[in-house]
Amino acid sequence: YNTGPHSLDVPSEYRENNRGAAITPDGTSWWVSPITGLFSYTSGDFSNTVRYTGVAGLPTSGLMDIAADPDGTLWIVDNGGRLLRFNPSNSSVQAWPGVSNVRRVVVDPTVTPRAVYVSMGSQGLAVIRAR
């Protein structure tokens, strides 16, 4: 039985930093963090990591979930319960209307038009059918 420290022990102040990850069709890896915001890398080398700060409408912290859309955009959930759509090609951000208290987002590209499933806490599930 556990009688002392082992290799899985972590410091008592440890907190999970990354909340969601996604890969866009161009091979870029993306992840969000409630502490440090949105990051990406493309070459498989973490020395080429980009942190997205200074993008109008995109919080630099408090990001809770992410899903990649087949068109290359990203669906992002912030800790205010907003659903954001971020276009990396022009750094534009759109707060998606009609949804609130968002918890999770999942993109299903296997249906046509694709479906974006949005969990909205006690308000239930929204489905966005995008072309």
Beta bridge partners of 106: 117
Residue (of 66, 54, 70) closest to 22 by Cα position: 66
| pLDDT tens sequence across 89-106 | 999 999 999 899 999 999
Rounded CA-CA distance 7/10 in Å is: 8
| pLDDT tens sequence across 19-60 | 889 999 999 999 999 988 999 988 766 677 889 999 999 999
Distance of CA 30 to the CA centre of its chain: 8
Give pTM, 2 decimals: 0.84
Q: Is 107 within 8 Å of 68 (Cβ atoms)?
A: yes
Q: Six-digit token pair at 11?
A: 């410091």
Rounded CA-CA distance 130/105 in Å is: 14
